Amino acid sequence: MATLTNNSVDKKVMNLVSKSQDVNVQVAAAKAMATFFRSPLVRLSATASDILNKFVRMYNSKHFESHEAALLALSNLVKDNTISCMELGQTPNFIFQLVGSLLESESITLLTLDILREFAKHDALRIKLYEFDIIPKILELSKSSSERVQERLLYLIPLLVTSDDEITLFQQADGIEIVFNFLKCTCSEVRKVATISIGLLAENAFAARIILKSGWLEHLYLMQSSEDQCSGYAKIAIKHILDANLVLKFAMTGILDYSDITGDVFYDVGPMKTSEHLKITQIYSNELLNNSIPTWILNITEACQIFLIHEKKFRGTLDSDGFQLPYDTELRTFIKSSTLKINETPDLEEKIRILAVYAYDCLKNYFTEIASFKMPRDVADYFGGPMTREDAYGSIDWQKITKYRCHFNTNVVPIGLPDSAGYRHRALLFKFVADKVGIACRCVCGEYQIAYNAINIQNELTFVVNLMENPGEIYPADSKEANNYCRI
């Protein structure tokens, strides 16, 4: 290729496209240029010429071979080429003709999908595609028996469906269900691309929530466990779906990562093996008291109201389903207090990083002494102060919890209700508070209600925080002390 371009062969072939009157020569030249356009330098050179308009005229030809050769050349010309892509997309009637050719022969359809994929990368052109009813067209195309068409289509969809409005439109047309149905395709390559497509769609939190409601998450788990070419992509899709629903993520994995921000309302439904068991808060509240563990809720939203429940006044807020959530006044006060303490020490993370360079002991003392990082001790005090592992298991006063549940006839209980609680309550509260004050924090809960928190300083230093026997102590993540504390 380099030898040919160095000898200006590409320019000579380009001239044949422009000047030859012989259709067969034009077709051959267009196919040759399609090969040359695989080179970024040739694409750049062609962009500065008038060759694009020549190919558009060939594309508009009624001669099939000219039409196909021009489409092949254009599909390669616009690849990763913003200028040519925008110019082609703004050519009068081109998008209309392009969308209309989706249901033609397989070769034309494949090339059309390639160009649409490039168009969809640009907001202005993607919007124009919607003006020509692109969604119904591609969903009609999903019925194609061609596996190659199915693969190209599945690669296009995540680029075409990006905003919440586009996702809503796609969902209303049963597009998400159609994509998931490809997971059952007999062709392994189509299944793989469908899994990739779902993972890319799920990068949008709104789409991820819709995907979760569609009920396909368990199928993705099965694919993940199959250990074939789809399993890795299924894992990515699952991660994106769970990242958009932290309650479910915490229930199924026991982990809230550094990037998982809990917000003003979060609830802990306990460990869960399957996503199908996750319900809306109202259902948890109305479950028979003797048949379920309580759902612990952290709620510090400001929009509080007084509700009457069984003729008793109850302070709470409404969730997205219109259910009355318990509101924890003490927790909100605790959060405000912790925030003020952190703000007392400007540039806290930078000071920690500098101290860590010199000596861990110095850093450890700094954490223990500074007023702004008494948060671990405050969290421990919130649940009864220092506590051994053995004492943690029987620390909650279940009689008090039962009294609350019966009084309000609910299974949704404020996490701060028990005066004393162990690992899981402390770890979750610490994560909740850390998110509010801007400390990068990870919460990990395992079996036997053992849980721990890790904090990360400027993506360089990671420490485990003791919230139990010696609240406020910190240990380097790979230390013996950390391993002993985190033993699950």
Tell me the DSSP string of 305-341: EEEEETTEEEEEEE-TTS-EEE--HHHHHHHHHHHHH
Q: Would you kindly state where each structural domain of the chain is located, as residue ranges?
A: 1-132, 160-244, 281-486
Other CB atoms closer than 10 Å to residue 421's CB: what's the count? Answer: 23
Q: Which residues contact 83 (CB under 8 A, 6 or more apart)?
A: 47
What is the pLDDT at residue 85? 92
Count Cβ atoms below 10 Å from residue 436 Cβ, excluding itself: 18
Per-residue pLDDT, 307:
43
The CATH code of domain 1-132 reads 1.25.10.10
Please tell me the predicted confidence (pLDDT) of residue 389: 85
Dihedral, 283, 286, 290, 293 alpha carbons, nearest 10? 40
- Centre a 10 Å sphere on the Cβ of residue 316 and count the other Cβ atoms it contains: 22
pLDDT of residue 311: 41
* 488 residues of the chain, pLDDT tens digit each: 666 665 566 677 777 877 777 888 889 988 988 888 888 888 887 777 778 888 998 899 888 999 999 999 999 999 999 999 999 999 999 999 999 888 889 999 999 999 999 999 999 999 999 999 999 999 999 999 999 999 999 999 999 999 999 999 999 999 999 999 999 999 999 999 999 999 999 999 999 989 988 888 888 988 998 878 889 999 999 999 999 989 889 988 999 999 999 988 898 888 877 765 565 555 555 555 555 678 888 887 764 444 444 444 444 454 454 455 666 777 878 877 777 766 665 555 555 555 444 444 544 554 544 444 578 888 999 999 999 988 888 889 988 988 888 887 888 888 888 999 999 999 999 999 888 878 889 999 977 778 999 988 767 778 899 999 988 888 888 889 888 888 76
In terms of phi and psi (left: phi > 0; alpha: psi -120 to 50; beta: otherwise), the region of 438 is left
Helix or strand or coil: residue 163? coil
CA-based R_g, the chain, Å = 30
